[in-house]
């Protein structure tokens, strides 16, 4: 393998791994604020205690994931310079800006108030402790925003001009931050983060109920998880997913054609539910198609013409076309399952039957890893859709890497990351398993009440 391929694999691997953690913590930060708010607003000491212990329980889980998110995030910033030097040289003046802003506006906020949230409960007033939780949430969501702004510039460059030496310069700070692509992608992405966290929380709730544990936590987690889940799953599809898709169809029509497996332009194009794109014959093998749906989804009428891959020169097609098709379909397929599961659970919750319906608790428990897969597939869809460009239409991926870092050095560091991240995964599983198994304190409740009183 040459250096470019190794650099691509290393970046794809490290960023995919990294994003397993922030997607949970960004969602959890919101859920913790909800728990703290419920605790703050209730006047019954027992109920407030329940919510406070829940928040503490999830706060510790947050801390474990936050830490791994931070330590695997630092390499991302470094790798722009180490592995993508030419890209950094040319675009650093533009994309370096949101990255630096992320560091200054969100990481300081997040780390300072996470310290207060975790270590300060006995030193702070209840109001200040609530505020700490809120500021951690704010910090993590601002952080996500700046990262998406960076990515959006690579997807849909705005507010820049190119100098004669190939370097980019920001001409409009507002345009860079108000990039419509960024806002659509951000909304879609943050919904996904809440989906991940709410599925995690419902799964722990379902586990406790299935284990017939005493105490109120199983029900609390399940209730909050399902309610947050149904809201975020809905918003995930409509309006955020829908709008993002429409905007993408306008600005990256080729990516849409590849995602949908549309080799030839068509009026009243159908949507492929299942099938395998065949690169040789330029058709879909074993297709299962719903007629006219694609035209409707993109243009709002069933007869509109959708551009197929044949409209574009072959050397600009995404280099890993089937992977793009599959990741998109995995994302959509899992999204459908999430909607069905949370919709049904919410119905049972409303009817007051969810806690005792063990046959529904099982799928809720087992579904916790699926949002991770869906989010990863979603990211792959966006990022492979952008190929072969690094900055869409302006810099090719093959022009951006560090050409003087040899393949053997690239291989060495890739193996290093593989080794260290395997270790991290192993530790994560043990830590999270132990934490979930021990659960929030139930037997010690009286002591806990006495301590915080």
Q: Among 86, 156, 84, which Cα is nearest to 386's? A: 156
The only residue of 12, 81, 245, 273 in contact with other proteins, by rule CB under 8 A? 81
Taking the least distance from each CB to other proteins, the nearer of 250 and 419 is: 419
Segment near other proteins (CB under 8 A), from 27-35, 221-229, 385-393, 413-421? 413-421
User: What residues numbered 283-342 form the site for other proteins, per CB under 8 A?
Assistant: none
Adjacent-strand bridge partners of 289: 272
Q: Cα separation of 386 and 406, whole Å?
A: 25
Q: Is 96 among the residues that bind other proteins (CB under 8 A)?
A: yes
Q: Cα separation of 79 and 82, whole Å?
A: 5
Segment near other proteins (CB under 8 A), from 36-44, 215-223, 251-259, 398-406? 398-406
Q: Is 362 among the residues that bind other proteins (CB under 8 A)?
A: no
Q: Cα separation of 161 and 163, whole Å?
A: 7
Q: Is 390 among the residues that bind other proteins (CB under 8 A)?
A: no
Question: Cβ(379)–Cβ(329) under 8 Å?
Answer: no
Q: Is 127 among the residues that bind other proteins (CB under 8 A)?
A: no
3 state SS of 63:
helix
Q: Which residues of 68-95 are buried (b: 16+ CB within 10 A; e: fewer)?
A: bbbebbebeeebbebbbbbbbbbbbebb
Give me the helix-helix angle, 370-386 and 3-41, nearest 10°.
130
User: What residues numbered 158-197 form the site for other proteins, per CB under 8 A?
Assistant: 163, 167, 169-171, 173
Taking the least distance from each CB to other proteins, the nearer of 101 and 243 is: 101
Q: Is 63 among the residues that bind other proteins (CB under 8 A)?
A: yes
Taking the least distance from each CB to other proteins, the nearer of 116 and 377 is: 116
Q: Is 149 among the residues that bind other proteins (CB under 8 A)?
A: no
CA angle 246, 249, 253 (to 5 degrees): 175
The CA-atom distances, in angstroms, between 208 and each of 129, 131, 220, 355 are: 27, 29, 10, 10
Q: Give min distance, CB of 125 to other proteins, in A.
A: 12
Q: Give min distance, CB of 122 to other proteins, in A.
A: 5
The only residue of 15, 34, 85, 442 in contact with other proteins, by rule CB under 8 A? 85
Question: Cβ(48)–Cβ(37) under 8 Å?
Answer: no
Name the residues that contact other proteins, by CB under 8 A: 59-60, 63-64, 67-68, 70-72, 74-75, 77-78, 80-83, 85-86, 88-97, 99-105, 107-109, 111-116, 118-120, 122-124, 163, 167, 169-171, 173, 402, 404-405, 409, 412-413, 416, 420, 424, 427, 431, 434-435
């Amino acid at each position: 393998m040459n250096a470019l391929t190794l650099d691509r694999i290393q970046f794809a691997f490290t960023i995919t791994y990294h994003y397993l953690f922030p997607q949970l913590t960004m969602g959890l930060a919101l859920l913790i604020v909800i728990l703290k708010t419920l605790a703050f607003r209730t006047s019954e000491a027992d109920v407030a205690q329940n919510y406070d212990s829940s928040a503490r329980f999830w706060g510790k889980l947050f801390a474990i994931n936050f830490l791994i998110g931070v330590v695997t995030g630092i390499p991302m910033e470094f790798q722009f310079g180490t592995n993508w030097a030419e890209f950094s040289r040319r675009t650093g003046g533009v994309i370096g800006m949101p990255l630096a802003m992320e560091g200054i506006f969100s990481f300081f906020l997040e780390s300072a108030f996470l310290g207060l949230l975790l270590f300060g409960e006995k030193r702070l007033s209840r109001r200040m402790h609530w505020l700490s939780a809120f500021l951690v949430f704010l910090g993590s969501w601002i952080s996500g925003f700046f990262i998406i702004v960076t990515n959006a510039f690579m997807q849909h460059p705005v507010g820049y001009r190119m100098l004669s030496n190939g370097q980019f310069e920001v001409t409009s700070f507002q345009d860079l931050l108000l990039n419509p692509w960024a806002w659509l992608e951000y909304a879609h992405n943050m919904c996904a983060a809440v989906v991940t966290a709410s599925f995690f929380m419902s799964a722990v709730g379902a586990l406790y109920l299935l284990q017939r544990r005493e105490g109120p936590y199983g029900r609390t987690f399940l209730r909050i998880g399902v309610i947050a889940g149904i809201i975020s799953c809905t918003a995930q599809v409509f309006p955020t997913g829908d709008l993002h898709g429409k905007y993408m169809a306008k600005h990256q029509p080729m990516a849409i054609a590849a995602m949908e497996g549309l080799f030839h332009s068509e009026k009243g194009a159908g949507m492929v539910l299942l099938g395998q794109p065949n690169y040789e014959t330029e058709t879909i093998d074993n297709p299962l198609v719903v007629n006219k749906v694609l035209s409707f989804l993109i243009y709002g009428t069933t007869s509109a013409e959708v551009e197929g891959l044949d409209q574009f020169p072959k050397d600009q097609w995404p280099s890993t076309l089937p992977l793009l098709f599959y990741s998109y379909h995995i994302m959509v397929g899992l999204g459908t399952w999430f909607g069905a599961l949370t919709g049904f659970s919410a119905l049972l919750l409303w009817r007051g039957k969810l806690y005792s319906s063990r046959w529904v608790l099982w799928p809720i428990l087992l579904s916790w890893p699926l949002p991770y897969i869906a989010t990863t597939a979603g990211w792959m869809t966006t990022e492979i859709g952008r190929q072969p460009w690094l900055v869409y239409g302006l810099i090719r991926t093959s022009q951006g890497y560090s050409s003087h870092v040899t393949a053997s050095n690239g291989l060495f560091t890739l193996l290093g990351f593989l080794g260290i991240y395997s270790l991290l995964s192993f530790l994560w599983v043990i830590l999270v398993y132990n934490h979930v198994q021990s659960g929030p304190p139930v037997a010690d409740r009286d002591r806990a009440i006495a301590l915080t009183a």
